[in-house]
A and B are shown apart, each in its own frame.
Chain A
Amino acid sequence: MSPEASQPAAAAPAPAADLASLRRSVAPITPATTVQEVADIIQRREYAGLLCLPVVDRGVPLGTVSRNQLTDIFMLRFGRELYGNRPVAEVMSRKPLLVADDLSLEQAAQYVAANIGSPISEDFLITREGRYSGMGVVIDLLGAMQARVAQNAQQLSVAYGQLQSSQAALVQSEKMASLGQMVAGVAHEINTPLGYVRNNVEMVQGVFAQMRELLGEHEKLVHMLTDEAAEEQALSQLLFKLSAETHDLHDSRLLEDTEALFGDTLFGVDTIKDLVINLRNFSRLDAAKVAEVSLNDCLDQTLVIANNVLKNKVEVIKRYGEIPRVACSPSQINQVLLNIMSNAAQAIEHDQGRLLLKTEADGGWVRVSIQDNGKGIAQEHLQKVFDPFFTTKPVGQGTGLGLSISYQIVQAHGGTIQVASVLGKGTRFVISLPLTSQPTMQAPDAARAA
């Protein structure tokens, strides 16, 4: 018996999109075909890539017969004589791998992997509505799956890239938000001295005009005194006027009081200067990225910046130890300190606020401890405080990135950051930085951007 039709098996397409594209149009054999005939058919070129042949009766798939099975039969003593003329239905495998052509590649692969025998000696039948439609080759399925995985991996890598850039944007926006907060705070700090400095200068300007006028009159007097043609009456009038004005001036103590303003004015200008210097030290925009600094100095610089949120609300207690300098990126460490201090100020909702700042060195580490007596962090939140986007603040008030970035910064410095909190009592953050190790400048993007 010959195959129902003979079509050459289609070559497997390289990256198959679906099961249909894996289908090879293989003419099946009927159950009545003899084993000997099957052995001949399977030698034909068009069946070369197949591990088995489909046995189909009027469209209904019945089983498969594999090269392995045929080899086993012919290897038997008198195998050819015993089985050669028997119909293939007697020796075929009755549990063929049947895969409906509307399954996805993944579903097909899953089914085949779960049901295929070992060692692999068969391919699978593709069916449409229960009827034989063609053959699928396991190796093709494997190739298609591999292509699929490669494609997924590429998509994943694109998505990962997008995620990375949007995280970088978020980190940047967090940085801008904290920068904005900081600038607003410092602007307020500057406005107070600026207020009285400006007022004082404007008043001195008025006094100056008054003095210039008075000086003009005195010059006039000198001129009259040296001018022989001057009228005596005019001279005496001017003299009288000037002495009255001088008397008033002394009485009003205008000059003394104005002079007193100079002290305040210079003090105000120096205050502004200090604030600006601090702002610069804090951001370190003009300094080296890495420097040997004392964390005590970092704390003091940050305190000036945070003053706006701490002032009138929180008593700051400093217990600084004698600590060696550490190599770090001061602007990043300051950002961490400011973040923790502003969180502390926000957590304090009563008027007996205290912020305890402690530093110490032990072994190879320098530690900074920042402790507040605010409302504390609930136990279930405590594990999440360093997670990106975790925030308990109302919408719009926190990005949820502050502590996550702080964590990354400290980690990039080879240090650790720890938190302990008791609800209703307060929270303590401890930052430990190693004395020896240089900060790895392969800081994560987040830390670098921050």
Chain B
Amino acid sequence: MIPHKPVLLLVDDEERILRSLAMLFRGQYQLHTTTDAREALEIIGRTQVQVIVSDQKMPVMRGADLLREVKERSPNTMRILLTGYSELDAIVASVNEGEIFRYVNKPWDAAELRSTVDQAAQIAATLFAAPAAETAPVTAARAVIAAEMVPLSPSSAEGILVIEDDAEVFRTVQGIVGPSQPVHWARNLDQAFDHLEKYPVGVIVSELVVQGESLTAALKLLKAQYPEVVTIVMTPFQDTGVLISLINQGQIYRLLPKPARPGPLGMNIASALRHHRMLKSSPGLRSRHAVEKIRQPEELSVATRVMGFLGRLRGRAAT
């Protein structure tokens, strides 16, 4: 039996982009292309689509909004944003609402894009094959309430690790979460390692810089090693390049501006906890958050340090 080719949906308001991409993926995929976001949603409605690649800047609907709709309607469809301009609000929306797999800049590298889409298609195939309940997503339609933060049993009380300079943020998180869940505070990378070593951590709420040290590489590596740990980045930081790399290499779950308002922060922590429990209970789902390899050379030294810590952890587990 010939296996079905995965379905790839390409959306861009420039037809030449569509033609070019269609050529790139010809043969390996069943292709749908459209310049109209509404038509894209119709296609999603009637066909099982493994991967969607969408432009950001389009008439009628922004790419991030389209991908949010796709997430609601077909959560297993892997979502990739292909954009010519890195706007901060596009990045934030694509993380928080679209929960996208990759953020790819134009012009792209053909071979790289092909391998990204191939990987996404494989993951989607696993997700579509898994039992429905396992992949049930947290959607806006099923708003999460604070009560859901209460652990299923005392033993399942996963910790929340706050990596921050500011004690106020730690107290805010503590206030939101209440006594049901332990909240740990790390003021630097070593303390964070220490907490991860000692306690089960489900959700990390992190700044991008503590005590002058960048955390981006560490956050990326932690996601690579612990795909079930869910990261919320809360920062006033606005470097689009760094934020994009946190999507692609760190699969951060939420990107919140500072100062955080307790309401939305609470919603997001609750949602992150749920997401963590889901990832923990269904390993197949973790592949949805597979990360890219770190490429920034300046992050590699931190990477070595994190790997050292991870090695220690493993050593302990083995003895």
A259 to chain B, nearest CB (A): 11
Chain A residues with CB below 8 A from B23, complex form: 199-200, 203, 257-258, 261
Given the known interface contacts A199-B21, A264-B16, A312-B58, the answer about A191 and B110 at a Cβ–Cβ threshold of 8 Å is: no
B107 touches A264 (CB 8 A): no
Given the known interface contacts A192-B106, A198-B108, A199-B21, the answer about A184 and B85 at a Cβ–Cβ threshold of 8 Å is: yes
Residue of B nearest to A263 (CB): B16
Q: Does A160 reach chain B (CB closer than 8 Å)?
A: no
The proximity string for A residues 251-274 relative to B, scoring 1 for CB distances below 8 Å and 0 otherwise, is 010000110110010011000000
Residue of A nearest to B110 (CB): A202
Q: Does A197 reach chain B (CB closer than 8 Å)?
A: yes
Given the known interface contacts A257-B26, A261-B19, A267-B16, the answer about A195 and B107 at a Cβ–Cβ threshold of 8 Å is: yes
Chain B interface bracket (under 10, 10 to 19, 20 to 34, 35 or more): 20 to 34
B57 touches A264 (CB 8 A): no
Residue of A nearest to B62 (CB): A312
Q: Does B17 reach chain A (CB closer than 8 Å)?
A: yes
Q: Does B84 reach chain A (CB closer than 8 Å)?
A: yes
A187 touches B19 (CB 8 A): no
Cβ 8 A contact of B19, one of A191, A202, A252, A264 = A264
Chain A residues with CB below 8 A from B14, complex form: 192, 196
Q: Tell me which of B17, B27, B105, B106 has the highest count of chain A C-beta atoms within 10 A of its own C-beta.
A: B106
Cβ 8 A contact of A191, one of B24, B84, B111, B113 = B84
Number of contacting residues on A, CB 8 A? 27
The proximity string for A residues 158-202 relative to B, scoring 1 for CB distances below 8 Å and 0 otherwise, is 000000000000000000000000001001110111111111101
Q: List B4-44 residues whose CB lies under 8 Å from chain A.
A: 13-14, 16-17, 19-21, 23-24, 26-27
Cβ 8 A contact of B107, one of A189, A194, A257 = A194
B110 touches A203 (CB 8 A): yes
Residue of B nearest to A207 (CB): B23
CA A264 to CA B22, docked complex, whole Å: 13
Chain B residues with CB below 8 A from A261, complex form: 19-20, 23
Q: List B73-89 residues whose CB lies under 8 Å from chain A.
A: 82, 84-85
A194 touches B59 (CB 8 A): no
B101 to chain A, nearest CB (A): 19
Chain B residues with CB below 8 A from A312, complex form: 13, 57-59
B20 touches A196 (CB 8 A): yes
Q: How many A-B residue pairs have CB under 8 A?
A: 73
CA A311 to CA B110, docked complex, whole Å: 27
Q: List B98-136 residues whose CB lies under 8 Å from chain A.
A: 105-111, 113
A198 touches B57 (CB 8 A): no
B24 touches A188 (CB 8 A): no
Chain B residues with CB below 8 A from A264, complex form: 16, 19-20
Residue of B nearest to A308 (CB): B85
Given the known interface contacts A203-B24, A312-B58, the answer about A195 and B17 at a Cβ–Cβ threshold of 8 Å is: yes
Residue of B nearest to A205 (CB): B110
CA A193 to CA B17, docked complex, whole Å: 8
CA A203 to CA B17, docked complex, whole Å: 13
Residue of A nearest to B57 (CB): A312
B17 touches A252 (CB 8 A): no
Cβ 8 A contact of A188, one of B26, B85, B109, B113 = B85
The proximity string for A residues 64-103 relative to B, scoring 1 for CB distances below 8 Å and 0 otherwise, is 0000000000000000000000000000000000000000
A252 touches B27 (CB 8 A): yes
Chain A residues with CB below 8 A from B16, complex form: 193, 196, 264, 267-268
B12 to chain A, nearest CB (A): 8
CA A188 to CA B105, docked complex, whole Å: 10
Chain B residues with CB below 8 A from A200, complex form: 20, 23
B113 to chain A, nearest CB (A): 8
Cβ 8 A contact of B20, one of A188, A199, A308 = A199
CA A198 to CA B59, docked complex, whole Å: 24
Residue of A nearest to B56 (CB): A188
Chain B residues with CB below 8 A from A188, complex form: 57, 84-85
CA A314 to CA B59, docked complex, whole Å: 11
B228 to chain A, nearest CB (A): 35
CA A364 to CA B51, docked complex, whole Å: 62
Chain B residues with CB below 8 A from A202, complex form: 109-111
Q: List B232-263 residues whose CB lies under 8 Å from chain A.
A: none
A196 touches B85 (CB 8 A): no
Residue of A nearest to B20 (CB): A196
Chain B residues with CB below 8 A from A193, complex form: 16
CA A260 to CA B22, docked complex, whole Å: 12
Residue of B nearest to A202 (CB): B110
CA A202 to CA B57, docked complex, whole Å: 24
B85 touches A198 (CB 8 A): no
Chain B residues with CB below 8 A from A203, complex form: 20, 23-24, 110
Q: List A236-260 residues whose CB lies under 8 Å from chain B.
A: 252, 257-258, 260
Q: List B173-214 residues whose CB lies under 8 Å from chain A.
A: none
Residue of A nearest to B59 (CB): A312
CA A200 to CA B24, docked complex, whole Å: 8
B20 touches A192 (CB 8 A): no
B19 touches A196 (CB 8 A): yes
B19 touches A192 (CB 8 A): no
Q: List A23-53 residues whose CB lies under 8 Å from chain B.
A: none
CA A167 to CA B105, docked complex, whole Å: 38
Given the known interface contacts A184-B85, A187-B85, A261-B19, the answer about A199 and B26 at a Cβ–Cβ threshold of 8 Å is: no
CA A258 to CA B108, docked complex, whole Å: 19
A176 to chain B, nearest CB (A): 18
A192-B106, A200-B20, A203-B24 known, 20 other contacts, Cβ within 8 Å: A187-B84, A187-B85, A188-B84, A188-B85, A191-B107, A192-B17, A193-B16, A194-B106, A196-B16, A196-B20, A198-B109, A199-B24, A199-B107, A203-B110, A257-B23, A257-B26, A261-B23, A311-B57, A312-B13, A312-B57
Pairs A-B, 8 closest by C-beta atoms: A191-B84, A188-B85, A195-B106, A196-B20, A202-B110, A198-B107, A312-B59, A194-B107
The 14 sampled A-B contact pairs (Cβ below 8 Å) are A187-B84, A187-B85, A191-B107, A192-B84, A194-B107, A195-B82, A195-B108, A196-B20, A196-B21, A198-B108, A199-B110, A202-B109, A264-B16, A312-B57
Q: Which residues of B contact A (CB under 8 A)?
A: 13-14, 16-17, 19-21, 23-24, 26-27, 57-59, 82, 84-85, 105-111, 113
